Structure 1
Amino acid sequence: MAENENLNGIGLGKFIAWTLLTFGICLLGAIPQWMILCLFAKGAVVYTIGCFFAAFVMLLCIHLIEPLKYWRPCNYVAIIVCYELLTVGAASFLMKWRLLWSIAVIVVALLCLAITLFICLFLICTGFYMNPFKLAVVGGMLFVLTFCIEIMNTLLSWWYWQDVAVGFFFVSVATLVISHVLIAYHSFAFLVRDDSVLVAIVLYIAYILFLIACRLSAIYIKDNADQSATSASSDYDESTPVDADYS
């Protein structure tokens, strides 16, 4: 057995190649669907959000039920169904929007994921990182903090609560991706080829979360710009003298 192979005879480079290839296939299959829904879908937001919810229920079943995780072909059928539900569900955040802006959000989300994976590579090469399981807990706590900030946005009046929440959401997704990659790296000796598909699906889910965060950021940036323009117009109207009517 080669030195870079695990107990199941899978090399680290081959495992990474299969993972990235599967992720690339998922992305290439999703982008045309998003473009079609962005251009032609009307009034389907309720159904697509329902698909998004069903996808995470299916993902939970995959991780809890062993045959859906490793027993072929049930595992591949379950993963394909989960993938399609995620893809259609994510389209909710791109529909009823300009196609060019949707493409820009798709590219920026991919760039965010690429930067996160580069950070993973840097941490693995240097070995300078905390326990990946503790890091996963930190990512989960950041999700909770995001939820708490959204509650603060409901209770207290401050225009930029949602901007802060999206910022924490970005960091939480990146933290969870880094922790998952590090856990997979430390558990590589026991992984099988099917695990590369599961890791690719996790990366795809992280990409979709980045996509949602980028879309929400675009909404909040537009709202902030409109609010600033309204405030500036209001200040100008108040400072402009009004001629008195002496007739």
Structure 2
Amino acid sequence: MADAYISLYITVRSFIRHTLFIYLYLLSFAVPQWMLLSICTTADHILYTLICFSGSFVLLTLIHLVESVKYNWPWNWLAIGSCYELMTLGVGAFVMNSEQNTVMMAVAMALLIFGLVLVLCFFIISGYNYPNPYKLASLAALGLILVICAMILGTYRGRHWMDVALLLFMLSVLLLMISYVLISFKNLDVLIKPDTLLLGFVLYINYVLVLVASFICIQRCDFNFDATNVVQKASPYG
């Protein structure tokens, strides 16, 4: 039994490679679904997005709490697969009734940001003293609370607070991602090969959150640009 458990340990390089491969596989299967939903549907359904995201996070919490679901095949694959599909369909419901170019732009923008953050994590880890990841996670949680405050202010004080909320949300998600990578690296000595499935999926969740923020950012930019053009056309000095 001990030998079987020891055999699950892999080198750091292999662990990182397996995790990134799983993340890329999940992403490659998700993009066609998003494209299909953006083309074949006629209205967005934010309620479906909230339901899917909530169900995915509840199931993810269950996976973390129950080790038999976390490590035993095929339950771990079924649980992660269900979480993955809920998360993917939630994003698909969010981008419904959007132009395909807009969706692809958001996907590319999120992928670029995600890649840059991974490179940043590499340089942080390579440093002699990197920041406490738990403090970074706490800072990210505080940022998410400020997002809610900014959104509340946005409903009363104007649309610019919504832009502030979007910026805070993006920064908070990126801080969460950095802290998660650092925490995982710090605990590599106790992680085993089956953990790569869960870690790869959590990276995918971080990408999804960055994608949602990127998609909203593109829509906000388009809205502000259109509003500016309308004002200029309406102005006698435009």
- Relative to the length of structure 2, the TM-score reads 0.91
Which residue pairs with 1:111 in the alignment?
Answer: 112
| Alpha-carbon distance between aligned partners in 2 of 1:8 and 1:189, rounded to the nearest angstrom | 12
Which has the greater radius of gyration? 1
Q: Cα distance 1:128–1:93, how it changes in 2: closer, same or farther (>3 A)?
A: farther
The Cα of 1:233 is off from its aligned counterpart by: 3.0
RMSD: 1.9
1:62–1:69 CA contact under 8 A, matched in 2? yes
Read off the aligned partner of 1:72 and give its amino acid letter: W
Match of 1:90 in 2: 91
Task: Give the conservation status (yes or no) of the 8 Å contact 2:9–2:193.
Answer: no
1:184-199 pair list within 5 angstroms: 184-199=184-199
Distance change >3 Å, CA 235–CA 209, structure 1 → 2 = same
Q: Could you say which residue in structure 2 is the equivalent of 1:24?
A: 24
Q: Is the 8 A contact 1:153 1:162 kept in 2?
A: yes
Deviations 1:55-108 (A, max 9, x none): 112112112222221222211110010001101111122211111221111111
Greater Cα offset, 224-233 or 196-205: 224-233
Structure 1 window deviating more from structure 2 (47-56 vs 211-220): it is: 47-56
Q: CA deviation at 1:43?
A: 4.1
CA-CA distance at 1:13 after TM superposition: 0.3
- Asked if 2 retains the 8 angstrom alpha-carbon contact of 1:54 and 1:85, the reply is yes
Go from structure 1 to structure 2 and tell me whether the alpha carbon gap of 1:146 and 1:222 turns closer, same or farther (over 3 Å shift).
Answer: same
- Structure 1 distance, partners of 2:154, 2:159, is 8
1:166 matched residue in structure 2:
166
Q: Give distance in 2, aligned partners of 1:149 and 1:49.
A: 20
Kindly report which structure 2 residues correspond to 1:30-179, keeping only aligned pairs within 5 A, or say none.
30-43=30-43, 45=45, 46-156=47-157, 158-179=158-179
Aligned length: 232
Q: Secondary structure at the match of 1:190?
A: coil
Change (3 A) 1:141 1:11: same
Aligned to 2:226: 226
Structure 1 distance, partners of 2:29, 2:196, is 18
Call closer, same or farther: CA 1:221–1:44 in 2, change over 3 Å.
Answer: closer
- Residue deviations 1:127-167 (CA, integer Å, cap 9, x gap): 343211111111111111111110110122x3311111111
The alpha-carbon deviation at position 53 of structure 1 amounts to: 2.2
Does the C-alpha gap of structure 1 residues 169 and 127 become closer, same or farther in structure 2, counting only changes over 3 Å? farther
One-letter amino acid of the structure 1 residue matched with residue 99 of structure 2:
R
Compute the displacement of 1:218 (Å).
Answer: 1.2
CA distance in 2, matches of 1:48, 1:168: 21
Cα distance change, pair 37–203 in 1 and its aligned pair in 2 (3 A): same
Contact 2:134 2:183 in 1 (8 A): yes
**Unpaired runs of at least 5, structure 1:** 1-5, 241-247
CA distance in 2, matches of 1:146, 1:48: 19
Distance 1:134 1:229 in 2: 44
Aligned mates of 2:55, 2:80 — CA distance in 1: 13
Match of 2:215 in 1: 215
Unaligned runs of 5+ in 2: 1-5
C-alpha distance in structure 1 between counterparts of 2:196 and 2:100, whole Å: 32
Partner Cα distance (1:188, 1:20) in 2: 15
Aligned residues of 2:52 and 2:89 also touching (Cα < 8 A)? yes
For residues 116 and 156 of structure 2, the distance between their equivalents in structure 1, rounded to whole angstroms, comes to 35
Instruction: Give the ranges of 4+ consecutive aligned residues of structure 1 lying more than 3 Å apart after TM superposition.
Output: 6-9, 46-49
